[in-house]
């Protein structure tokens, strides 16, 4: 009898230990599953595929450019999000982001009041652009909108929806007695360099990075005219990602990430890589 009682106790103890073991495994497994099943939010980032060096598709078919790599830094910081970069046209970015086809778009975009009606701007800007005139070399003494207006020169047409148009329009409103002859154009991506080079206008407004890619770069389509043309900077402008209006949480997460990134020199290095110079000191000097 004693042997039977002892055997019963041993069996009961073994069963209890086995049950405890099952409880331990059952208690830890759900926690592991929760971690693994934590959903990462996919973010569709549209970028202009022909905006070298800000946004473009490189020779390997990969997304590239300052704006793209700056957003990659944001992606690395945000563990709860995964960015998918989608090449497209500038026009499709505007339409697609507004309609929700894309979550955010990057295309060296400036801030305008008009665009705030359609897009959500974050608090933190993404980058900077040098804006200036492309002119024939004999007009190299023009260094400001005031100079251009005083000379009575003609300006290449600018799409009314463009931030460059807003830039000139705001100058004209502030200087009614010395206005630039501003004409709205139908084309968003007018070939300003060609217009100036052919003498159709006296000058045009262009981003320095685009001027360098088209004229200064030895592989640029207008490099042969590098001695006939000049680029004269007259402003340094902040550039922004454009978020779909509903993506307030994503925009807030972007802001937190960008604040941390700006504490480093990563954006400065990207500017030197893609623009050939760091524009942040120029911004600080102009403020």
Write the pLDDT tens digit of every residue in 16-59.
Answer: 434 444 443 434 333 333 434 568 899 999 999 988 899 999 99
Instruction: Note whether 66 and 207 are within 8 A (CB).
Output: no
DSSP assignment of 153-217, as one string?
Answer: -BB--EETTSHHHHHHHHHHHH-TTS--B--EES-TT--HHHHHHTTSSSEEEEEHHHHIIIIIS
How much is the pLDDT for 29? 39
Residue 86, phi then psi, degrees to nearest 5: -120, 115
Question: Helices in the chain by DSSP H: which ranges?
Answer: 2-36, 66-77, 90-99, 145-151, 163-174, 192-197, 208-211, 248-261, 266-275, 280-286
Report the chain's mean pLDDT, rounded to a whole number.
87
Instruction: Note whether 131 and 207 are within 8 A (CB).
Output: yes
Examine the pLDDT at 10 and tell me if it is beyond 80. no
Q: Give the tens place of pLDDT for each residue, 226-273.
A: 999 999 999 999 999 999 999 999 999 999 999 999 999 999 999 999
How much is the pLDDT for 163? 82
How many Cα atoms within 13 Å fall on the side-chain side of residue 274? 28
How much is the pLDDT for 114? 87
Q: Give the tens place of pLDDT for each residue, 117-149.
A: 999 999 999 999 999 999 999 999 999 999 999
Q: What percent of the chain has pLDDT over 70?
A: 85
How much is the pLDDT for 284? 74
How much is the pLDDT for 66? 97
Examine the pLDDT at 7 and tell me if it is beyond 90. no
Instruction: Note whether 145 and 132 are within 8 A (CB).
Output: no
Q: Which pairing describes strands 81-88 and 41-48: parallel, antiparallel, or unpaired?
A: parallel
Q: What percent of the chain has pLDDT over 90?
A: 74
Q: Give the tens place of pLDDT for each residue, 68-84.
A: 999 999 999 999 999 99
Instruction: Assign residue 100 a region (left: φ > 0; alpha: ψ between -120 and 50; beta: otherwise).
Output: left
Residue 14's pLDDT band (boundaries 50, 70, 90)? very low
Q: For the chain, list the domains and their CATH numbers.
A: 41-128+239-276 (3.40.190.10), 129-237 (3.40.190.10)
Q: Is the bond preceding residue 53 a cis peptide, omega within 30 degrees?
A: yes
């Amino acid at each position: 009898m004693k042997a039977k009682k002892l055997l019963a106790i041993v069996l009961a103890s073994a069963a209890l230990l086995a049950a405890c073991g099952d409880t331990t495994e059952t208690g830890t497994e759900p926690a592991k599953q929760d971690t693994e099943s934590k959903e990462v939010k996919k973010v569709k980032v549209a970028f202009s595929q022909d905006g070298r060096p800000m946004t473009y598709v490189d020779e390997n078919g990969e997304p590239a450019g300052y704006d793209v790599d700056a957003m990659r830094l944001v992606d690395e910081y945000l563990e709860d999000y995964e960015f998918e970069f989608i090449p497209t046209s500038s026009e499709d970015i505007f339409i697609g982001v507004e309609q929700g086809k894309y979550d955010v778009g990057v295309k060296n975009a400036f801030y305008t009041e008009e665009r705030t009606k359609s897009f959500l701007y974050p608090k933190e800007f993404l980058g900077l652009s040098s804006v200036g005139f492309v002119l024939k070399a004999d007009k190299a003494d023009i260094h400001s909108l005031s100079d251009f207006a005083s000379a009575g020169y003609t300006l290449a047409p600018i799409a009314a929806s463009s931030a460059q148009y807003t830039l000139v329009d705001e100058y004209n409103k502030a200087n009614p007695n010395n206005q630039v002859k501003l004409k709205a154009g139908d084309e968003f991506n007018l070939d300003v360099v060609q217009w100036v080079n052919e003498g159709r206008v006296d000058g045009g407004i262009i981003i320095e990075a685009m001027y360098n890619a088209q004229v200064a770069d030895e592989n640029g389509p207008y490099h042969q005219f590098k001695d006939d043309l000049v680029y004269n900077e007259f402003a340094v402008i902040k550039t922004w990602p454009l978020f779909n209006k509903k993506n307030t949480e994503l925009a807030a997460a972007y802001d937190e990430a960008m604040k941390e990134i700006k504490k480093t020199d990563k954006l400065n290095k990207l500017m030197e890589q893609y623009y050939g110079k760091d524009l942040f000191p120029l911004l600080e000097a102009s403020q």
